[in-house]
Every structure is written in C-alpha cells, then in structure tokens.
Amino acid sequence: MDLHAALKKHFGFDAFKGDQEEIIKSVIEGKDTFVIMPTGGGKSLCYQLPALLLEGTAIIVSPLIALMKNQVDSIRGHSEEDHVAHFLNSSLNKAEQLIVKDDLRAGFTKLLFVAPETLNKKETIEFFRELTISFVAVDEAHCISEWGHDFRPEYRRIKEMIKGINDQIPVMALTATATPKVQGDIQKNLGMSDAMVYKASFNRPNLFYEVRPKVELVKQLIRFVKERQGKSGIVYCLSRKKVEEIAEALTVNGIKALPYHAGFDSGTRARNQDMFLNEDVDVIVATIAFGMGIDKPDVRFVIHHDMPKSLEGYYQETGRGGRDGGEGHCLAFYDYKDIEKLEKFMQGKPIAEQEVGRILLEEVVAYAETAMSRRKFLLHYFGEEFDEVNGAGANMDDNAVNPRPREEGSKWVKLLLDCIAELKETAKAKYVIEILTGRGNSQIKSFGHDRISTFGAGKERDPKFWMAVIRQTTVSKLLNKDIETYGVLKLTTTGKAFIENPKSFTVILDHDYIERAEDDNLILNTKAQGSAMDEKLYQLLKELTRSVAKDSDVPPFVVFQEPSLMDMANQYPITLEELANIQGVGQGKAKKYGAAFIETIGGYVEENEIERAQDIIVKSVINKSGTKVYIIQNIDRKRPIDEIAKARDMSIEDVLTEIENIVDSGTKVNLDYYINDAIDEDKQDELYDYFMEDAETGTVEEAMKEMDDEDYSEEEIRLMRIKFMSEVAN
C-alpha cells in the first residue's frame, strides 16, 4: 500500500510529520497503538488516513460533542462524499440518526465519531455488532486517568464496551498530554500493555514561556495585546464572569475581542469561534471550553489570566499557540491566592480526588515559582530530558532571559537527602521542610522526628529556599516524587550515590512574586502605592490647580483633588479621553477643567522626552452592578436616602459613600429635597461657606476636625460636601 500516494490523494500533503507514517502502518497492520503527541503535531491524521484505507468503519471516541461537527466537516472537506464521516450523539434527532445508520449499514461511512456516553448504550453496542469495525480510536485518552486533567468516569468503561462489540477489534489511544503515570493508567485500563507506543517530543521550541505576578493585571494585559496589534491570541480565564469582564475591557480599549464559554447558546459560541477563525476578531477570551480541536495555525499568544488546575491543562492550552512554527508567546499571570481559591473549590469532593487535585496544583505552583528553565521543568514533568544550554528553544523563557541569582548548594542538597533518608522515605515535601527548619509541631513530636539529626539543621534557610532545592533535585533525578502515595519523596540511585559522594550542585533561587511587584517595570496601582509618580510634574500640576481654581473662583480641591493629581503625575494623560480615566476625574470634570492640564502634561512629556510608562490608559468598563444607576434614578425621584439604603440592603453611610464617588467623578446630583429637611438653613450656609472659603483639601475628615467645636454631625458635613461639590465642582 502506497501511503505517500494516499496522503497526497486524501490530504494533499507530500510528506508525513514525525512518526505519523510508522503510526499509520501500525494501525493498518491491526496492532494496538498508543500515540502521545503534543497539540498541533498531527494526531488526527494518524487515525483519519488508516480509517479511509481500511475496510469497514473506524469508531472515534471523542469527549466533546461540540467538536465532533468540526472534525466531521474537516474530513468531509477532503472528500467528494459527505457520508464518508458522521457523528452519532445526543444532538441528532431520530430522523438524523436513521440517515447515519443507513450510511453505516451501506458501508459508505469510514469514520464515525461517538461520545463515550453514546457508546455506553446497549442499543448502540448491538447496532455496532452488525457492522465491520476497522478499529476503535480513543481520542483525548488522558480522560481515562484520574491523574489526567480531564478525568471522565465514562472513559474507564470503554474497553468493556469494545469487548461488547468484538474483543478482537484493534484499539488506538491518542493524547496530547500524558505524564508517565497517566500513560500507564491508559494502557492498563484499555488492556493495551503490549501496544506499539509512539511518543513524540513535547518540546515546542518556538513557544516563549513567561509568568508574571498579578499586579495591575488588566493594564498589563491591554498593553501586551496592543503591542501585538492585529495578531491572533487567546486569553483563558477560569470563570465565565471573568471571561465577559476581560472581553469587554479589551473591546472598550480598541481591541477586537469576543468572549466564549459554555454559558452561551451554541449559536453564539459557533459565531464567536468562527469570527476568530476567520480573523474578524483578533482575540478570543474563553474558559477552557474553547480550543480543543481548533486548528488555527497562527495564534501568536496564549494568555492565562488565571493559572490552570494542572500542568497538563496549561501545556495543552499553550500548545494552541504557534502551530505553524512561528512566534508563540505563552504568558501566565500568577497569584498564590488563586491557588488557594482552587483548593477551596475541591472541598466536599472525595478525599482521594482532593489529594490528586492538590498534587496537580502543587506542580502548577512549582512551575510558576521556579527560577530554573521553564521548558526543562515542563518537559521533565512529561518524562522528557532537556538540555537547557544547547536544546532547541533553550533561551525561550523569562527565566533564561532574566536569570535569577544562583549559589553553590551541594551542602544543602546533601542535608535534604540525609533528612529524607532519616525519615525512611515516608514524607512529603512540606513535612521534610518542617523537619529541616525545626518546626516542632505535634505530629513531628508524636513520631519522634524532633530527635533525628537533621531536625532544625537547615533553619538558617527559609521554607521557600528548601522548596526550590526539592524542585531542582527532583528535576535533576536525585529525588523522585511517588505519585501513588500522593507525592512522598523517594531517593533515586543517583540520590543515594550523592549522599555517599557529594558533588557540586548549583541552586537557583525561586521567584518571590509577593515581594517583586516593581521588578518588572509594571504599572503600579497608584491608589495603593502612591510612589511611582513624577514629583516634578506633580508640583507643576498643583500650581496649575491653584491657578485654575483662582480663575474659576473656587477652592483648588474643587478642580482636582490630590489623589487625582498624583495619578496624573504617574499616568501622563495627554488627551481628554485619557484624563477622564484618571482616578476621581470622569468625563464631566475632564471637559470642565481638563484643557489646561492636558496641555501642560503634553508639553512636559515632549520637553523632557518622556516615554510614557504605558502608551495606553486603560478605559474602565462601566460598573454594571446597578447600584450607582439605582441611586441616581432614585435621587431624581426625590426618594429619601434611608429608603434607598433599605431597598438595596445597605447602610446610610454606604449610600453616602456611593453618592460621594458619583459626585467626585464629575456627575451632578441634587439632594436639596433631602438636605432641606435634614439640616437647618443656617447650618447649610455655614458649611457651604466653609467649603468655599476655608477648606484646604475639601475632605470630610478635615471638615470634622475644623468644625469640632460646632454642633455638626458627620452625616450633615457629608451631605453638604456632596451639595457643594455637585454645584461648584461639576
């Protein structure tokens, strides 16, 4: 059989990639075949071509109904006959199912895609017994293993179902992500321990891996995407709500983006997906529901807004970048609080499932915090060696480009290995670190481990350092993490030899994302930090505020308050639109007082040749909670504030805070109907005059201090400040 001619005829390719030819020969010869091939490596061809060449129909078990139509359409695109490929699942009505079955009985259909749930039905098994089945291919086979990132209990019954049809049918398993443990689970469960195993390299040398701390994330995200204007990218978020928020934030900042998650109806999902594939939009913001089976070769960046639940998931999702061999930037944002949230979500699940979930999350944390080559770390996880000096893609990650501090660590490695040996290889990483740092908790004391020689011997180094040593000795194969016992540390033969004869070992110090907010030239949150502003510009703007206030016959704080000036001195807004996004400004104030300010800032930027920290100012997405709109509408209806508070289940103080925020952003409100009932006219006049003539900063705190001897309540002062700012500042 001339496979090259068949490849050219059916798919138009002149040559096979990697092991494709050997895999296809194995399937045609009727052998059980196991294919581990990274995303974009050409897995689907490995079952499509033999299915077209062999007698009978190949059954392809696939986990996602949503993808089956895409796969069927793709195969039909290479054939003159539509009936060459079908899917059989719950999305078909009775009449459509009959058409599929008629084509199968007639021998027209070469590939049939089914979900495991469909294969599970007794009538499906009985129907398949009537047909000639060439082989069964189990796609996304990692779903079989509880250690896989997409465990599906129905997958564990596939072998039983195949036996129900004919136990002589050859079986093919395919996956893009399988650690050695998952690989063993798949082979054992499918009864294919003697299978021909083809494992392609997991290394994607064109992908650049980077992890950043979650500081001012939306600003970082928009800047990153705008720097790649017109290029295709995917942003993954863990929640549907976050998908919609990020998609809207990108859109209002001039980026063509659409959301995608399972909460949308199928029509919306299909439309948004097609617009991305057809390049009508540049960015798709999605949950992990998006991307499986999507064959877009020129995705130039894959961003993880949240770290995923496992490294398998991360690897599969990043693998959607740069499939054509071109640029592919994989950026993940990391905050340990997100990991803690994911751990909380696991509560209530069976204990064994929680243990598995925690170990998978520990590996994600290790990847995020490691300072060694990220590529080496990832490939080690999938059981593959990598030379970080000369290997393909050796300098393609943030740790290689910006290396972390290193030190000679052979004495620390020896101490670690001695401790594990003293504990008789029965402890996990956290417990070993507690021993080394001398934490005498009740568990350690009950086992008598506070009396072993290594207890407290490493207390001069912190737990973070010891975790780095454990990671690096594991990747260097001095240690092994035993998956079966949920991560107990075991010494390897090499590790035992190191104890007897220690050698030089360089330890790379891990990232500390809590302490390194300023290391990466990130835009800091000026509301919280207040330290990144341009002091010279700030003083200029302060003088300008006084001048504008004098011309307008109002106090300076009415024009712009101090936090707004500090934000301007950090962000350098040079258009009214940018100024409106400065803290406490808004469109009303920008229009009323902004012209002189943007002229001054623009001149300052040009004169000092300042390269702005960002060439974008992030436009805020309007708060859709409805609270502000509700308050404004009810003030217009002259509804008492206590009633507004009660209706929204808020305190009066909280409602006043919301109104202050509304007014400080430049929106007018008229509370006269409420103020005239609540405050005497004389008091109103005195407080109004105070804000106009005596107040320096215009804050409530300053007013309370100044008016301490007078008989004014905090609520009265707040109400009059709202009235004053609304009438004079806006």
Residue pLDDT, tens place only, 40-91: 678 889 999 999 999 999 999 987 766 777 778 778 766 667 788 898 887 7
Report the pLDDT averaged over residues 320-342.
87
Q: Which pLDDT value is given to residue 290? A: 63
Report the pLDDT averaged over residues 562-587.
84
DSSP annotation of 428 reads B
Report the pLDDT averaged over residues 114-126.
86
Helix (H) or strand (E) holding 557: helix 556-559
Per-residue model confidence as pLDDT tens digits over 89-119: 877 888 988 999 999 999 899 999 998 888 8
In this predicted structure, the answer to whether residue 476 has a pLDDT above a threshold of 70 is: yes
User: d(Cα 363, Cα 13) in Å, to the nearest integer?
Assistant: 39
User: d(Cα 371, Cα 360) in Å, to the nearest integer?
Assistant: 19
DSSP annotation of 115 reads -
The residue with greater pLDDT, 26 or 75, is 26
Tokens linked to 397: 């990650």
Residue 333 binned pLDDT confidence (cut-offs 50, 70, 90): very high
Per-residue model confidence as pLDDT tens digits over 361-398: 888 988 988 888 999 999 988 888 898 888 899 989 99
Residue showing tokens 């300053």: 702
Long-range Cβ pairs for the range 415-418 (8 Å, 24+) = 415/454, 415/457, 415/458, 416/458, 416/466, 416/469, 416/470, 416/473, 417/473, 417/478, 417/479, 417/491, 417/495, 417/498, 417/499, 418/453, 418/454, 418/499
Taking the domains of the chain in order of start, what are their residue ranges? 3-199, 207-383, 410-504, 535-607, 627-729
Q: What region, left, alpha or beta, does residue 255 occupy, with left being phi > 0 and alpha being psi -120 to 50 degrees?
A: beta
**Burial state string for 293-313 with b = 16 or more CB within 10 A and e = fewer than 16:** bbebeebbbbbbbbbbbbbbb
In this predicted structure, the answer to whether residue 617 has a pLDDT above a threshold of 60 is: no
User: d(Cα 233, Cα 212) in Å, to the nearest integer?
Assistant: 18
Which residues, other chains included, contact 326 with Cβ-Cβ below 8 Å and sequence gap of 6+? 206, 298, 300
User: d(Cα 631, Cα 637) in Å, to the nearest integer?
Assistant: 10
Q: Which pLDDT value is given to residue 79? A: 67
Per-residue model confidence as pLDDT tens digits over 185-209: 888 888 888 889 998 888 999 999 9
In this predicted structure, the answer to whether residue 522 has a pLDDT above a threshold of 50 is: no
DSSP annotation of 403 reads P
DSSP annotation of 397 reads B
Q: Which pLDDT value is given to residue 259? A: 93
Q: Which pLDDT value is given to residue 512? A: 66
Q: What whole-number percentage of the chain has pLDDT above 70?
A: 91
**If we measure between CA atoms, which residue out of 398, 699, 405, 353 comes closest to residue 556?**
699
Name the H helices within 143-239: 158-165, 180-189, 217-226
User: d(Cα 414, Cα 457) in Å, to the nearest integer?
Assistant: 11
In this predicted structure, the answer to whether residue 151 has a pLDDT above a threshold of 60 is: yes
Helix (H) or strand (E) holding 480: strand 479-482
Q: Which pLDDT value is given to residue 66? A: 62
Report the pLDDT averaged over residues 526-538.
57
- In a 3-state reduction of DSSP, which class is residue 459? coil
Report the pLDDT averaged over residues 215-235.
89
Average pLDDT value for the chain: 84
Asked, colleague to colleague, whether 410-504 and 627-729 share their fold, the answer is yes
User: d(Cα 46, Cα 588) in Å, to the nearest integer?
Assistant: 62
Q: What is the DSSP string of 34-47?
A: EEE--TTS-HHHHH
User: Taking a C-beta distance cutoff of 8 angstroms, is the pair 106, 120 a contact?
Assistant: no
Pairing of strands 111-114, 85-88: parallel
The residue with greater pLDDT, 111 or 342, is 111
User: d(Cα 76, Cα 66) in Å, to the nearest integer?
Assistant: 17
Can you name the residues that pair with 172 across neighbouring β-strands? 33, 137
Topology, domain 410-504: Arc Repressor Mutant, subunit A (1.10.10)
User: Taking a C-beta distance cutoff of 8 angstroms, is the pair 624, 249 a contact?
Assistant: no
Which residues, other chains included, contact 696 with Cβ-Cβ below 8 Å and sequence gap of 6+? 555, 557, 702
- In a 3-state reduction of DSSP, which class is residue 321? coil
Tokens linked to 135: 């082989």
Report the pLDDT averaged over residues 445-458.
91
Q: Which pLDDT value is given to residue 142? A: 84
Residue 158 binned pLDDT confidence (cut-offs 50, 70, 90): confident
Q: How many Å from the N-terminal Cα to the C-terminal Cα in the chain?
A: 82
DSSP annotation of 63 reads S
Topology, domain 535-607: DNA polymerase; domain 1 (1.10.150)
Q: Which pLDDT value is given to residue 613? A: 53
Pairing of strands 488-491, 283-286: unpaired
Residue 34 binned pLDDT confidence (cut-offs 50, 70, 90): very high
Pairing of strands 171-175, 33-36: parallel
Q: What is the DSSP string of 292-318?
A: TT---TTEEEEEESS--S-HHHHHHHH
Topology, domain 207-383: Rossmann fold (3.40.50)
Q: Which pLDDT value is given to residue 397? A: 93
Q: How far is CA 374 from CA 299, 403, 407, in A?
A: 21, 11, 19
Residue showing tokens 């330290």: 531
Per-residue model confidence as pLDDT tens digits over 631-646: 888 888 888 898 888 8
Q: What is the DSSP string of 327-354?
A: -EEEEEEE-HHHHHHHHHHTTTS-HHHH
DSSP annotation of 82 reads G
**Domain 627-729 part of CATH 3.60.21.10:** no
Residue 527 binned pLDDT confidence (cut-offs 50, 70, 90): very low
Name the H helices within 382-462: 398-401, 410-422, 429-436, 442-446
Residue 618 binned pLDDT confidence (cut-offs 50, 70, 90): low
Topology, domain 3-199: Rossmann fold (3.40.50)
DSSP annotation of 620 reads P
User: Taking a C-beta distance cutoff of 8 angstroms, is the pair 585, 560 a contact?
Assistant: yes
Q: Which pLDDT value is given to residue 312? A: 86
**Phi and psi at residue 614, to the nearest 5°:** -140, 145
Per-residue model confidence as pLDDT tens digits over 263-299: 888 888 888 888 888 888 999 999 876 655 466 788 9
User: d(Cα 57, Cα 136) in Å, to the nearest integer?
Assistant: 9
Residue showing tokens 């609304």: 726
Which residues, other chains included, contact 549 with Cβ-Cβ below 8 Å and sequence gap of 6+? 555, 556, 558, 559
In this predicted structure, the answer to whether residue 524 has a pLDDT above a threshold of 60 is: no
Find the angle CA(542)-CA(721)-CA(664) to the nearest 5 degrees: 55
**If we measure between CA atoms, which residue out of 199, 190, 143, 142 comes closest to residue 170?**
190
User: Taking a C-beta distance cutoff of 8 angstroms, is the pair 246, 237 a contact?
Assistant: yes
Q: Which pLDDT value is given to residue 454? A: 93
